[in-house]
Amino acid sequence: MKTGKNIDLIQRHLDVAIAQSEFKRIKLFLGILILGFLLMCFNLFVVKNTTVFFTNSFTKYSIVAWFLVFIAYEALAAVMANRFLKKKIVVPIWLKVANVVFEAAMPSFLLILLCSLEFSAIFLDSPLLFFYLIIIVTSSLHLDVKLTLATGLVSSIGYLVVTVWAISSFDAEQQELNFPMILYVARGIFMLFISMAAVFVAQEFKNREVNMFGLLTDKRQIQSLLTQQVSLEVADTIISDNFSSKKHAVTILFLDVRDFSAFTEGHSPTEVNAFQNDLLGPMISIVRQNGGFVNQIMGDGIMATFGVRETDLDHSANALNASILMLKKVDQLVLKNTLPATKIGIGIHRGDVILGNIGNQFRKQFSVSGNTVNIAARLEQLNKVYQSELIISEAVLEHVEANNVEFVELGEVQIRNIEKRIVLYKLHRHQSQ
C-alpha cells in the first residue's frame, strides 16, 4: 500500500516524465515538419510537371505558407516546453488541450484551403492524409490518455467533416474522386481506430514510467537501509540477487566486549550508550571498509560476514585484516581516553552458509545461517579459555598470508555441539601492537 508521501513523489516524477516526453514529441514532430517542408519545396519548385494540374497560382505558395506557420508554431511550442521543463512547471491543462486541437486541426485546415483554391475534392486523395496519422501516432507521447484520444477525435471528425463538405461542394456526382464516398468516410473512422491504439500505447508508457519509478524508489529505500550495515557494493549485490537464498562460502567474525555486564552496573544508561557508540561505531566502520556485512549489533558486540559478493575471493584475508585493525583501534581509543580500559575478544571461521531473506511482511532481515556461524561464535567465546583476543580456525589460516602477524597453534579442539574437532590458532598479541 503506497503512502501519501510516496504517491506525491510518484506524481511529481510523473509530471517531470510527462514534460520530458512532451518536449521529445514536439521535437520529433518539428523534425518531421521540416523534412516534409524540404521535400515539398523540392517537389513544387524543382521537379517539373508536378504542379501542372493546379489551376490557381497561389496554391503551391499556400502549401509552403502552411508548412511555415506549422513549423513556427512547433518551434515556439518547443521553446515553451523546454522552459516549463527546466522550471519544473506543470503545463496547464487548457494549454495542452488548445495545443492538441490546433495540431490535429491543421491538416483539415490545409485540406479546406486547397479544395477551396482549386475548387476540387481531389486533395482528399493527397499524401496529406499521412499527416493525420503522424499526429495521432506521436500523440501517445503526451502520456495522457485523454489528450491522445482528443487528438484522434479532432483528426477523425475534422477529416470526416472536410470529406463531406468537399464532396458535396465540388464533386457531388463523384466523377472526380477515385473511390466512392463511403471509403473516404471509412478513412475517418480508421483514424479513430488508430487513435484507440495510440491511447493504449500512451497508457502503457505511463504505467511503465510509474512502475519504473516505483521500483527505483523501493530499491533506493532498501539500499538506504542496507547501506547502514554494508557497503554500497554489497547492498547492490544483495538487491540484484533479489534477496534469494543461496549456499555460499564466507568468513564469519564475532566480536565481544569483555566484562560489559560489570561496566553497565556501575554506569548510567547515558554513559553505557556513549561507550557502546564510541567502541562499536569504529568497529562497524572497519568491517565496512574491509568489505564486510554487519549482520547483528548486540549490546556488547557484533557479528559480521565477509564474502557476500561472489567476487570477494579474499574475504578471509579481509576479515583477518579487519580483526587486527579492531584490536589496534581499541588500544588507540583507550590511549586517547575515549574509552576506559577495554578488552575485546574476536573469533573468525570460514565455511559454507545459507544466505537469504527471512521474516514476514512485518519484519524481514537478510540472514546468514549454518554451522559456520555457530563455530565462529564459539571461537570468540574460547578467547576467555585461552586468555587470548583473537582466535581463528585452520580454514581461515589456509586462505590468508599472515606475514605481519604470528599465530600460535592450539591444536585440535572440540567445539561444543560440533562433531568434528577443529584446529585453532590464537594471535600473539604483541604482534598486533
The answer on pLDDT for 5 being more than 50 is no
Residue-level pLDDT at 432: 42
Give CA angle at 145 (66, 192), nearest 5°: 60
Find, among 325, 334, 277, 324, the residue nearest to 300 by Cα. 277
Fold of 232-432: Alpha-Beta Plaits (3.30.70)
- 251: β partners: 306, 350
pLDDT on residue 336:
92
74-88, 138-152, 222-236, 305-319: least confident range? 222-236
Hey, which of 12-16, 107-111, 130-134, 239-243 has the most confident mean pLDDT? 107-111
pLDDT tens digits, 186-229: 888 888 888 888 888 777 766 675 556 554 555 555 555 555 55
Contact 152, 136 (CB under 8 A): yes
8-state DSSP, 120: -
Across residues 48-65, what is the average pLDDT?
84
Selected residue with higher pLDDT from 162 and 363? 162
Q: Which residue has the cell 515556439?
A: 76
pLDDT in tens, 367-421: 788 899 999 999 999 999 999 999 999 999 998 886 678 899 999 888 887 888 9
Residue by residue, DSSP assigns 190-230 as HHHHHHHHHHHHHHHHHHHHHHHHHHHHHHHHHHHHHTTTS
Query: Quick one: what percent of the chain has pLDDT higher than 90?
Result: 36
Q: Domains of the chain: which residue ranges?
A: 4-223, 232-432
CA-to-CA distance for 314 and 309, rounded, in angstroms? 11
Q: 295: pLDDT confidence band, cut at 50, 70 and 90?
A: confident
DSSP string, 243-282: T--EEEEEEEEEEEETTHHHHHHTS-HHHHHHHHHHHHHH
Which residues, other chains included, contact 282 with Cβ-Cβ below 8 Å and sequence gap of 6+?
326, 329, 333
Reading phi first (left if > 0) and then psi (alpha if -120 to 50, else beta), residue 195 is in: alpha
Residue 1 has pLDDT above 50, yes or no: no
